[in-house]
Every structure is written in C-alpha cells, then in structure tokens.
Homo-oligomer: A and B are copies of this chain.
Amino acid sequence: MSEHEHTAHGAGAPDDADPALVADGVVDLLGFLAYASLVAFFRLADDASLAASLPDKADLAAMAVAQFGHFKLLRSRISELGSDPQQAMAPFVEAIDAFHARTAPSTWLEGLVKAYVGDGIAADFYRLIAQLLDQRTRSLVETVLADSGRAEFAIARVREAIAADPAVAGRLALWARRLVGEALSQAQRVAAERETLARLLAGRSAAQLGEIGRMFATITDAHAQRMAALGLAE
C-alpha cells in the first residue's frame, strides 16, 4: 500500500500503536476474533474425533492448533491495548457458542465441510477488515491470514466421498447452507448488539451501516466458489 493510499484511510486506520489512536470497536473486534479462534480450537479438536483414520485426525488437529495460535496473537494484542482479554471476549461468548451448538457435525464429512467453510469465511472476513485497522493490528491480522488455507485437504476428501456416493453431495450442500445461514444470523445479532463494532466494520460512519450487508455479500460470493471447489451445488 502506498503512502497516499494509506493516508486516504484517515483516522480509521492510524499507523500509530498508541491505544488512544486505535479506532473504537477494535478491542471488540479483537475480542470477537479471539473467542472465535479459541472456540474453533475446541470444536475442531472435538470434530477430529469423528475421523476414522489417524492421519485424518492429525490433519484436523493441526487446524485446531493453528486456531489456538491465532487466539494467542489476538489475546496479546488486546492486552497490549490495555484491555482485559476475558472482558473483551465476554460479549461474544453467547453468539459464538450458539453458532457451534447449532452446527455440531454429526459425521466426519460434515466436520470437514465445516472446517473448510469456516476457515474460508474467517479468511475472507480477516481480509476485509484488515484495511479498517491501525498498522499493528493490521499486521497481526495479516499474520493470521497468512496462516489460513489449512483446510485445503478437505477438498480432496469431500470429492472422493461424493464420487463414491453421489447422494452425499445433496446432504452436504444442505449442511453448508445451514452453516452459512447460522453464521450470518449470529453475525447480524452481534452487529446489532455492538454498535461500535458495527461502525468500525461499516467504515466508522453510521450512514454506511449498509456496508455490513455488502461485506456479507462479498463473503457469501466467496463461499459459493468454495462450494464449487468441494463439488457441492450452492
């Protein structure tokens, strides 16, 4: 990013690490991402138990471990900004727990699709918000982003399963739709309850709250491409 482009972000993206210059809502955002990463760690570790083979278990466990690494980075940044990580995460516990309670995979393939879809949506979301953040928080988000894409192994496994039994495709497509529906429904709930976070995501202008809708649209477009990669109709 050139100096000119950077300056264009104005107060929404200060380069200074001074907590006072960090946009309102950034601690909210970090708290949300930190709790989402911590829970993703637990859920992926749990879902890995559905795997029949040790290599499959190890692959999903590796994704879980990566999520814990993200959690640690996000937690450190919250502390650096002078906030308490536990307090920063607290407002998002209910929505994130509700999402996982409603989307517990009942088979290994559902777990794989959830891991792949979840990893992809998280990466899209990180990419979209990176530009709204101060320099140090943006670097952290880019570090996390560079560590995503670990779910690519899922594509081959899901395609193999569909080749072996084409009926699997319809059930998994339905499952993927449910995942995205639940994610968007919980995300909208969070955005409605946390005004500063919603403003941050909308470019800090209440008039631009429609931006959140556009952000979701971008994410669902990318989701459609991932569904195609898995061999699933959207």
> A45 to chain B: which residues have CB within 8 Å?
41-42, 45-46, 64
Query: At the interface, yes or no: A95 with Cβ under 8 Å from chain B?
Result: no
Chain B residue at smallest Cβ distance from A93: B54
- The answer on a CB contact under 8 Å between A57 and B38 is yes
Give the docked Cα–Cα distance between A86 and B35 (Å).
Answer: 33
Identical copies of this chain, number: 2
> A61 to chain B: which residues have CB within 8 Å?
38, 41-42, 68, 71
Give the docked Cα–Cα distance between A49 and B46 (Å).
Answer: 10
Given contacts A58-B75, A68-B61, A68-B65, contact A86 B53 (CB under 8 A): yes
Query: At the interface, yes or no: A48 with Cβ under 8 Å from chain B?
Result: yes
Query: At the interface, yes or no: A209 with Cβ under 8 Å from chain B?
Result: no
- The answer on a CB contact under 8 Å between B54 and A38 is yes
Query: At the interface, yes or no: A27 with Cβ under 8 Å from chain B?
Result: no
Give the docked Cα–Cα distance between A46 and B72 (Å).
Answer: 19
Interface size class of A (residues with CB under 8 A): 20 to 34
Which residues, 58 to 88 on A, are CB-close (under 8 Å) to B?
58, 61-62, 64-65, 68-69, 71-72, 75, 85-86
Choice from B57, B64, B65, B89 contacting A54 with Cβ under 8 Å = B89
> A49 to chain B: which residues have CB within 8 Å?
42
Query: At the interface, yes or no: A210 with Cβ under 8 Å from chain B?
Result: no
Query: At the interface, yes or no: A10 with Cβ under 8 Å from chain B?
Result: no
> A48 to chain B: which residues have CB within 8 Å?
42
Chain B residue at smallest Cβ distance from A45: B45
> A71 to chain B: which residues have CB within 8 Å?
58, 61
Choice from B38, B53, B55 contacting A58 with Cβ under 8 Å = B38
Seen from chain A, the residues whose Cβ lies within 8 Å of a Cβ on chain B are 35, 38, 41-42, 45-46, 48-49, 53-55, 57-58, 61-62, 64-65, 68-69, 71-72, 75, 85-86, 89
Given contacts A42-B45, A61-B68, A65-B68, 15 further A-B contacts (CB under 8 A): A38-B58, A41-B45, A41-B61, A42-B48, A42-B57, A45-B46, A46-B46, A54-B85, A54-B86, A58-B75, A61-B71, A62-B68, A62-B72, A64-B68, A65-B69
